[in-house]
Amino acid sequence: MGRRAPVVWKRPAPGQITITGSSLEALLECPRRWFLSRRAKAEGGRQSRASIGDIVHLIARQAAEDGLTADQMRAQLDRVWEQIPFEAEWLSATERSEIDEAIDRFARYQASDGRDVVAVEREFRVPLSIEDREVVLVGTVDRLERDADGRLRVVDLKTGRRILREADVVDHAQLGVYQLAASLGAFDEVADGERRVAPPALAFVRSGESLPALVAQPSIDDAPALADEELVVGPTWVHDRIAQAVDVIRAGTFDAVECGACRYCQFASSCPVQNQAGRRSAK
């Protein structure tokens, strides 16, 4: 892993900085990629056609709100499938069969015992002060549930093929932001003021036998610090990560950091890290 030739940016005025779970994850992984994708998004706008992930999330939301069966979810999918862009007919057919299986898993998950659903696709916005850093955590949780003890549990649906292991999600920034937001009262209105958090989880709907593969992160109530790290600002490891990210944004220099995202990064062709690696392998 290496840091090279940073992108330099005009520093933001002091004040509140907005942090989302996904931006925190991206920023900590590679600041250069985070900065350039943010700029590309601002310049290029949103893609107009729906993705599989968008559609599965929409159907999952409706299923939770209206109690749809798997057949009803598939009927909804039939109605919108043509809007998803595929490069070839066979890709569409393969995807469809995998998504049908994902819907079956999700329907069984929803019908299984112990799922007290508090809210679906719930937006949040909660201010937070970490030493002298003023931050607003914003985002949307796919599902907010209560566990058997009444604690809040955030479940994030994942529709991609890549599955993470428990060791990968111990410091998963997005789950960390979700559970911190819940513990700060982001869901007070719908959860009767409950702020205790149960381990949040990623639900990989394309994987798993009968149910989606669930991979959970320890609750910050039970484990505020990571096993191999001392807290710097605290009181939890999520505060530390947010403080780190805000410091990068305030400094206004965005280093390229070689990481797992390099394999599919859209900014690799102009990246100093990649160019240097290319020169090394050409020697």
Tell me the per-residue interface mask from 28 to 47 with ligand SF4, x by CB under 6 A, - otherwise: --x-xx--------------
- Are 155 and 142 in contact by the 8 Å Cβ rule? The answer is yes
Q: Which of 274, 275, 276, 277 binds ligand SF4 (CB under 6 A)?
A: 274
Q: At what angle do helices 31-44 and 21-29 cross, to 10 degrees?
A: 130
Nearer of residues 23 and 179 to ligand SF4, judged by Cβ: 23
Stretches 152-160, 181-189, 224-232, 251-259: which one binds ligand SF4 (CB under 6 A)? 251-259
Stretches 8-16, 179-187, 192-200, 262-270: which one binds ligand SF4 (CB under 6 A)? 262-270
- With tokens 């929803």, the residue in question is 110
Nearer of residues 121 and 258 to ligand SF4, judged by Cβ: 258
Token representation of residue 242: 């947010």
Q: How far apart are CA 211 and CA 226, in angstroms?
A: 29
Q: How far apart are CA 191 and CA 222, in angstroms?
A: 20
Token representation of residue 158: 């994942």
Q: What is the 3-state secondary structure (H, E, C) of 74-94?
A: HHHHHHHHHHCCCCCHHHHHH
CB of 271 to ligand SF4, least distance (A): 3
- Considering the rule CB under 6 A, would residue 27 count as an interface residue with ligand SF4? no
Stretches 71-79, 227-235, 236-244, 269-277: which one binds ligand SF4 (CB under 6 A)? 269-277
- Determine which helix (DSSP H) or strand (DSSP E) holds 56, and give its type and residue range: helix 52-66
- Considering the rule CB under 6 A, would residue 257 count as an interface residue with ligand SF4? yes
Nearer of residues 120 and 271 to ligand SF4, judged by Cβ: 271
Q: What sign for the dihedral angle of Cα 63, 67, 73, 75? A: negative
Q: How many CB atoms lie within 10 A of CB 283?
A: 4
Q: How far apart are CA 258 and CA 261, in angstroms?
A: 8
- Considering the rule CB under 6 A, would residue 273 count as an interface residue with ligand SF4? yes
- Considering the rule CB under 6 A, would residue 202 count as an interface residue with ligand SF4? no
Q: Which of 233, 248, 251, 268 binds ligand SF4 (CB under 6 A)?
A: 268
Residues that bind ligand SF4 (CB under 6 A): 30, 32-33, 256-259, 261-262, 265, 267-268, 271, 273-274
